[in-house]
């Protein structure tokens, strides 16, 4: 059993709530106050069962020979963004009349990430311009057909596996022709080592990373920003044009309508350095409150 003390402004309940939305994600399982996820660490599949309370998180590692405790800790801390001091973000939140309530209602919510960059980008391609319910269905089908598993818990398919697929294989999983093409390109790029988290992190700044990502066919500004937020932990990215984000901004009376670009920029200028957190909290605000209580 591994213990991770909770940092300031960290709520396991809020993080778990985010994972436990209505979509039935196939890559982890929620049971009560714990989440179980299969993951490959140090080249070996392991099963992590994470539970928490006010003191912090407990990680139970299942399976035989597993990764080092240090690696497991780093994975969990990254997943829930536990190493970040979010207090400056909370100061900004409280200063803004329209969103100040989030500092109370979503207190301790961290930007729950997707540590695996390949999974993250694949998920973006799947989700492009389709509703989230259907996107999850397509992901489930892809994972069921080509992913691995640990004690019944699914792993996202490896790029080497997906790179071998052809368009009809993807079509059978309800990918569109273009998305099939994007997935083939993306998985080959990962399989060949052209893209990786390490390679992107080695670039000089966030703009260089954006450029590297968007040079890949099928990865536009929205996807690149999303992946930088969720996988590379860049807190300054905004997925411009995101329909949910725009809806939340209009709902909060922060934009007159979805085309009110000036208001959009004015708002985010007030959260400089914390744009991604603001986006995440706005997305959080879209979910009905009764789900939060369930």
Q: Cα(38)–Cα(45) distance, rounded to whole angstroms?
A: 7
Minimum distance from CB of 219 to DNA (Å)? 6
Is 243 a binder of DNA (CB under 7 A)? Answer: yes
Is 291 a binder of DNA (CB under 7 A)? Answer: no
User: For DNA, what does the binding mask look like between residues 91 and 130, x meaning CB under 7 A?
Assistant: ---------------------------------x--xxxx
For residues 47 and 277, which CB has a smaller minimum distance to DNA in the complex? 277
242 labelled catalytic: yes
Of 20, 169, 242, 260, catalytic: 242
Q: Which of residues 29-88 bind DNA (CB under 7 A)?
A: none
Q: Cα(284)–Cα(18) distance, rounded to whole angstroms?
A: 8
Is 131 a binder of DNA (CB under 7 A)? Answer: yes
Minimum distance from CB of 94 to DNA (Å)? 25
Among 4, 57, 162, 224, binds DNA (CB under 7 A): 224
Among 171, 211, 262, 266, binds DNA (CB under 7 A): 171
Taking contact as CB under 7 A, which single stretch among the options 28-36, 198-206, 215-223, 268-276 is the one that binds DNA? 215-223
For residues 94 and 233, which CB has a smaller minimum distance to DNA in the complex? 233
For residues 57 and 135, which CB has a smaller minimum distance to DNA in the complex? 135
Instruction: List C-alpha distances in Å: 286 to 189, 243, 248, 249.
Output: 34, 11, 6, 10
Note the residues at the interface with DNA (CB under 7 A): 124, 127-135, 137, 171, 174, 176-178, 214, 216-224, 226, 230, 239, 241-244, 247, 283
Q: Catalytic residue positions? A: 242
């Amino acid at each position: 059993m591994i213990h991770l003390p909770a940092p300031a402004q960290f709520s396991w309940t809020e993080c778990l709530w985010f994972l436990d939305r209505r979509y039935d994600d196939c890559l982890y399982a929620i049971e009560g106050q714990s989440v179980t996820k299969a993951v490959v660490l140090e080249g070996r599949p392991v099963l992590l069962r994470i539970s928490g309370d006010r003191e912090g998180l407990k990680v139970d590692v299942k399976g035989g020979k597993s990764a080092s405790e240090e690696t497991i800790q780093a994975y969990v801390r990254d997943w829930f963004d536990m190493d970040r001091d979010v207090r400056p973000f909370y100061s900004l939140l409280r200063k803004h009349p329209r969103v100040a309530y989030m500092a109370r209602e979503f207190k301790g919510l961290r930007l729950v990430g997707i540590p695996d960059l390949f999974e993250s980008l694949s998920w973006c391609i799947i989700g492009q311009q389709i509703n989230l319910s259907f996107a999850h269905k397509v992901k489930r089908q892809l994972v069921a057909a080509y992913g691995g598993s640990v004690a019944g818990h699914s792993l996202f398919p490896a790029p080497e596996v997906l790179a071998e697929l052809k368009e009809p294989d993807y079509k059978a999983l309800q990918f569109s022709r273009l998305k099939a093409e994007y997935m083939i390109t993306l998985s080959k790029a990962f399989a060949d080592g052209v893209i990786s988290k390490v390679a992107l992190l080695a670039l000089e700044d966030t703009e260089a990373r954006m450029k590297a990502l968007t040079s890949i066919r099928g990865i536009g500004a929205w996807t690149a920003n999303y992946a930088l937020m969720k996988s590379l932990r860049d807190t300054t990215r905004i997925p411009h044009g995101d329909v949910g984000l725009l809806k939340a901004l209009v709902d909060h009376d922060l934009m007159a309508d979805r085309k009110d670009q000036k208001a959009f920029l004015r708002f985010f200028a007030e959260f400089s350095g914390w744009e991604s957190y603001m986006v995440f909290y706005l997305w959080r605000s879209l979910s009905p409150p009764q789900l939060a209580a369930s």
